[in-house]
Structure 1
């Protein structure tokens, strides 16, 4: 905890909490006094000053986590010290203090009753609205099994199963051959995306997909991802069509729109739960449980379904837009999971679309596209 960390600094170095609190301001003042304009070379000391200012300012809501090595390579010592914020209410409290009326709105505020607990406030009015549409412009589906009737899921004990990998590949192949323009696919992590794409390549599925559409992939490198997005859009603009592989919680999932022909279908492969063995996540779950009485399972499910809704919502950006959403995991058919999705998705998720196989999903997609084209013509 920051309190014990600050106490140890004071006992060993004689630096008290008040001095730490002004580290950032003093560094900023020093750089201005010395008239230093190129601050890039001071980036690392700025990070240290930011760290010191935060631990000197906040005594609660933060944890200091020291990891001596990466869990994947325990034999290589690579110590990392991290300051993790567990309390989102600390960030929004200045807004509540400054303004008398605050409106919080989003398409992924679901379940809405959990946000006042996470942000530590009492809402005066809380409302959830459905989308006002002149026609059905979205078609969400839950795919629970492949054409061979084997269940699909990214649960840890199933995600590497050859049958699951093959069925996910066949789903994308069938959709790529039938759905025009752009298709966006979201995976639960970079490592899972790399593994499943490699498997598709070995099975020959990736080559079959590329017979219908070009394939582009998001990477942790921002420049590479930006270039891939530009080329993806060019492929869609020229009518060739394309598939974009991305990751939940990645750059693309958080702020890139796939409106119009850039996204006629989005496939969410699995439920994007966080890595539960992460020390940072464990510390946050413990803090939420002790401070706000939020159960571990409730928060993990809420966070995963919010991320899923964030991903699939990339394809609908206006009333004139239309697109399909496939939640490809048998767990989405369970009410306790599905009910955490936003109301504007659930209102279009018909009972007949809750337990589809690959063949049924393809038939549903073709019917939806036909109905949309007829509605546009007339």
Structure 2
């Protein structure tokens, strides 16, 4: 950015710059004017809520939480409810391919996977480019049918960044957990060490706060797959009890926070409450 500093005006524009907290220090550039406007979508065309857990209590889909058979079972049951209520396309974002593999294995053994395939044509994002294109072609061919389609994808993967899912291609997006980058990744750990070392000298965020910002940038990217133009409509379900706490919502995009409010749900109220997902879908 240093070579651009003599310019009279530099404008950065993107739907996914949020959270902005690290932008100035990372680019070593001051941006005195910052605008984070509301979404153009009307209030009655978007539903955003959280799923706190099941009848047995609240659930957190962090590293420890996803190892719980109860958590995996509850997530499968919630996805089934969403698929039963929502027409056409449903996207479900997960933190990693390893978790996706674990869930699919679990759900095949318990019969949940078969139930999902009865409700929707089910697809999983592939690790490799050629396989990915084939999967997406199949998804696009089936998502507009009466049965519709369910696509499992990974935060920071091919589906979450740069792909457009408008209208019936994504009437609901399920975001599972808080997608922190993998701290065992050498690049991630080195970046955290760098920030901690030069935090004061270069006005950088400390390593853990930088990690949190990256998590929410990925989350905002995924949630934004849902509504792509003013006439579109859709729902975003944040599946994790942590989203009822201010610490876990302050870095969400402003439009997501505005629509979310206090719309927190149990497994039951998701389909029975006047403010629930099922009521919104019926109204649309």
TM-score normalised by structure 2 residue count: 0.92
Q: Aligned-pair RMSD on alpha carbons?
A: 1.6
Alignment equivalent of 1:357, drawn from 266, 271, 276: 266
Distance of 1:180 and 1:134 partners within structure 2: 20
Distance of 2:280 and 2:211 partners within structure 1: 33
* CA positional deviation for 1:369: 1.6
Counterpart of 1:320 in structure 2 is 231
Number of residues of Structure 1 aligned to a counterpart in Structure 2 = 277
Alignment equivalent of 2:100, drawn from 174, 186, 193: 193
* CA positional deviation for 1:277: 2.3
- Is 2:29 the partner of 1:121? yes
Q: Does 262-271 or 115-124 show the bigger shift?
A: 115-124
Distance of 1:114 and 1:127 partners within structure 2: 15
Alignment equivalent of 2:76, drawn from 148, 169, 184: 169
Distance of 1:183 and 1:196 partners within structure 2: 17
Alignment equivalent of 2:258, drawn from 340, 347, 357: 347
Equivalences for residues 54-73 of structure 1 within 5 A: none
* CA positional deviation for 1:181: 0.4
Distance of 2:23 and 2:100 partners within structure 1: 30
Counterpart of 1:370 in structure 2 is 282
Equivalences for residues 122-141 of structure 1 within 5 A: 122-141=30-49
- Structure 2, unaligned runs of 5 or more: none
CA contact (8 A) 1:150 1:163 kept: no
* CA positional deviation for 1:97: 4.4
Counterpart of 2:208 in structure 1 is 297
Q: Which has the higher contact order (CA 8 A, sep 6+)?
A: 2
Alignment equivalent of 1:150, drawn from 53, 57, 61: 57
Distance of 2:51 and 2:114 partners within structure 1: 23
* CA positional deviation for 1:229: 1.0
TM-score normalised by structure 1 residue count: 0.70
Distance of 1:300 and 1:361 partners within structure 2: 31
Alignment equivalent of 2:246, drawn from 321, 335, 348: 335
Equivalences for residues 185-224 of structure 1 within 5 A: 185-224=92-131
* CA positional deviation for 1:333: 1.7
CA contact (8 A) 1:111 1:302 kept: yes
Distance change (3 Å), C-alpha of 1:100 and 1:359? same
* CA positional deviation for 1:347: 1.0
- Structure 1, unaligned runs of 5 or more: 1-91, 373-378
- Is 2:45 the partner of 1:105? no
Distance of 2:44 and 2:217 partners within structure 1: 23
Q: Does 317-326 or 123-132 show the bigger shift?
A: 123-132
Distance of 1:311 and 1:120 partners within structure 2: 27
Alignment equivalent of 2:195, drawn from 278, 288, 309: 288
